[in-house]
Structure 1
Amino acid sequence: MKRRFDNTWAVVLAAGNGSRMKAAAGVRKQYLEYRGVPLFWHSARTFSRIARIRGLVFVFPEEDLTAMRRRIKDLFKTDDLGLRFEVVAGGDRRQDSVRNGLSVLPRECDAVLVHDAARPFAPARMVQSLLDELDNGAQGVIPVRAVTDTIKHVDGRIVCATPDRSRLRAAQTPQAFERTVLEHAHELAEEHGWQVTDDASVLENLAGLERADSCEVRCVEGDPANVKITTPEDLERLREPKTTVPCTGWGYDVHRYGGDRPMVLGGVPIAGAPQIVAHSDGDVLLHALMDAILGCIGQGDIGTHFPDTDPAWDGASSAILLREVLVMAEKAKARIVHADLTVIAQVPRLAPHAAQIRRTVANLLGLDSGQVNVKATTEEKLGFTGEKKGIKAVACVTALREI
Structure 2
Amino acid sequence: MRIAALIVAAGRGTRAAASGSGPKQYAPIGGRPVLAHTIEAFVGHPEIDEVKVVIHQDDGDLYAAAAGNTPKLSPPAIGGATRQASVLNGLQALAASSPDLVLIHDAARPFVSAATISKVIEALKNGPTALAALPVTDTLKRASDSGIVRDTIPRAGLWRAQTPQGFHFAPILDAHRKAAEQGLDQFTDDAAIAEWGGADVAIVEDTTGNIKLTTAEDLELANRQMASQNAWEPHTGTGFDVHRFTDGDHVWLGGVKIPHTHKLEGHSDADVILHALTDALLGALGDGDIGQHFPPSDPKWKGAASRLFLEDAARRVRDRGGRIVNVDITVLAEAPRIGPHRPAMQALIGDVLGLTADRIGIKATTTEGMGFTGRREGIAAMASASVLLPCGASV
Distance 1:24 1:70, change over 3 A: closer
The answer as to whether partners of 2:17 and 2:219 remain within 8 angstroms in 1 is no
Distance 1:191 1:62, change over 3 A: same
> Could you say which residue in structure 2 is the equivalent of 1:55?
50
Superposition TM-score, scaled by structure 2 size:
0.54
Distance 1:32 1:68, change over 3 A: closer
The answer as to whether partners of 2:34 and 2:108 remain within 8 angstroms in 1 is yes
The answer as to whether partners of 1:21 and 1:27 remain within 8 angstroms in 2 is no
The answer as to whether partners of 2:30 and 2:223 remain within 8 angstroms in 1 is no
Letter in 1 for 2:143: V
The answer as to whether partners of 1:57 and 1:85 remain within 8 angstroms in 2 is yes
> Could you say which residue in structure 2 is the equivalent of 1:129?
119
Instruction: Trace 1:71-86 onto structure 2 (pairs within 5 A).
Output: 71=65, 75-76=68-69, 80=70, 82-86=71-75
Distance 1:161 1:24, change over 3 A: farther
Equivalent of residue 34 in structure 1, options 29, 35, 46: 29
| Residue deviations 1:74-132 (CA, integer Å, cap 9, x gap) | x11xxx3x314121111111001100100111343111111111000000111000000
Equivalent of residue 141 in structure 2, options 146, 152, 159: 152
> Could you say which residue in structure 2 is the equivalent of 1:190?
180
- Taking the aligned partners of 2:62 and 2:223, their CA distance within structure 1 comes to 24
- Taking the aligned partners of 2:65 and 2:123, their CA distance within structure 1 comes to 34
Letter in 1 for 2:187: V
Superposed displacement of residue 53, structure 1: 1.0
- Taking the aligned partners of 2:3 and 2:176, their CA distance within structure 1 comes to 18
Instruction: Trace 1:320-399 onto structure 2 (pairs within 5 A).
Output: none
> Could you say which residue in structure 2 is the equivalent of 1:140?
129
Distance 1:149 1:130, change over 3 A: same
- Taking the aligned partners of 1:26 and 1:109, their CA distance within structure 2 comes to 34
The answer as to whether partners of 2:55 and 2:78 remain within 8 angstroms in 1 is yes
- Taking the aligned partners of 2:8 and 2:151, their CA distance within structure 1 comes to 34
SS in 2 for 1:57: strand
Structure 1 residue 218 corresponds to structure 2 residue 202: yes
Letter in 1 for 2:165: Q
Structure 1 residue 167 corresponds to structure 2 residue 144: no
Give me the identity figure in percent. 35
| Residue deviations 1:119-148 (CA, integer Å, cap 9, x gap) | 000001110000000001x21100111112
The answer as to whether partners of 1:60 and 1:68 remain within 8 angstroms in 2 is no
SS in 2 for 1:53: coil
> Could you say which residue in structure 1 is the equivalent of 2:213?
229
> Could you say which residue in structure 2 is the equivalent of 1:383?
none
Superposed displacement of residue 52, structure 1: 2.3
Q: Structure with the greater relative contact order (CA < 8 A, sep ≥ 6): 1 or 2? A: 2
Which has the higher Rg, Structure 1 or Structure 2?
1
- RMSD of aligned Cα (Å): 2.1
Distance 1:7 1:38, change over 3 A: same
Letter in 2 for 1:199: D
SS in 2 for 1:174: strand
Distance 1:232 1:36, change over 3 A: closer
- Taking the aligned partners of 2:44 and 2:19, their CA distance within structure 1 comes to 33
> Could you say which residue in structure 2 is the equivalent of 1:203?
194
- Taking the aligned partners of 2:160 and 2:93, their CA distance within structure 1 comes to 30
| Residue deviations 1:24-43 (CA, integer Å, cap 9, x gap) | 56421100122332111212
> Could you say which residue in structure 2 is the equivalent of 1:95?
84
Instruction: Trace 1:112-123 onto structure 2 (pairs within 5 A).
Output: 112-123=102-113
Superposition TM-score, scaled by structure 1 size:
0.53
Instruction: Trace 1:8-19 onto structure 2 (pairs within 5 A).
Output: 8-19=3-14
> Could you say which residue in structure 2 is the equivalent of 1:315?
none
Give the unaligned 5+ runs of structure 2: 232-395
The answer as to whether partners of 1:153 and 1:159 remain within 8 angstroms in 2 is yes
Superposed displacement of residue 153, structure 1: 2.6
- Taking the aligned partners of 2:144 and 2:18, their CA distance within structure 1 comes to 30
The answer as to whether partners of 1:24 and 1:232 remain within 8 angstroms in 2 is no
Distance 1:100 1:64, change over 3 A: same
| Residue deviations 1:17-65 (CA, integer Å, cap 9, x gap) | 1131246564211001223321112122111232221111111111123
Find runs of 4+ consecutive structure 1 residues off by over 4 angstroms.
none
- Taking the aligned partners of 1:169 and 1:29, their CA distance within structure 2 comes to 26
The answer as to whether partners of 2:28 and 2:34 remain within 8 angstroms in 1 is yes
Letter in 1 for 2:65: R
| Residue deviations 1:229-276 (CA, integer Å, cap 9, x gap) | 101111222223678x9xxxxxxxxxxxxxxxxxxxxxxxxxxxxxxx
Distance 1:230 1:107, change over 3 A: same
SS in 1 for 2:134: strand
Superposed displacement of residue 182, structure 1: 0.6
Letter in 2 for 1:32: A
The answer as to whether partners of 2:35 and 2:66 remain within 8 angstroms in 1 is no
- Taking the aligned partners of 1:238 and 1:58, their CA distance within structure 2 comes to 21
| Residue deviations 1:338-364 (CA, integer Å, cap 9, x gap) | xxxxxxxxxxxxxxxxxxxxxxxxxxx
Give the unaligned 5+ runs of structure 1: 1-5, 208-214, 246-403
Letter in 1 for 2:172: L
The answer as to whether partners of 2:43 and 2:73 remain within 8 angstroms in 1 is no
> Could you say which residue in structure 2 is the equivalent of 1:180?
170
Distance 1:72 1:26, change over 3 A: closer
Residues paired across the two proteins, number: 225
The answer as to whether partners of 1:33 and 1:39 remain within 8 angstroms in 2 is yes
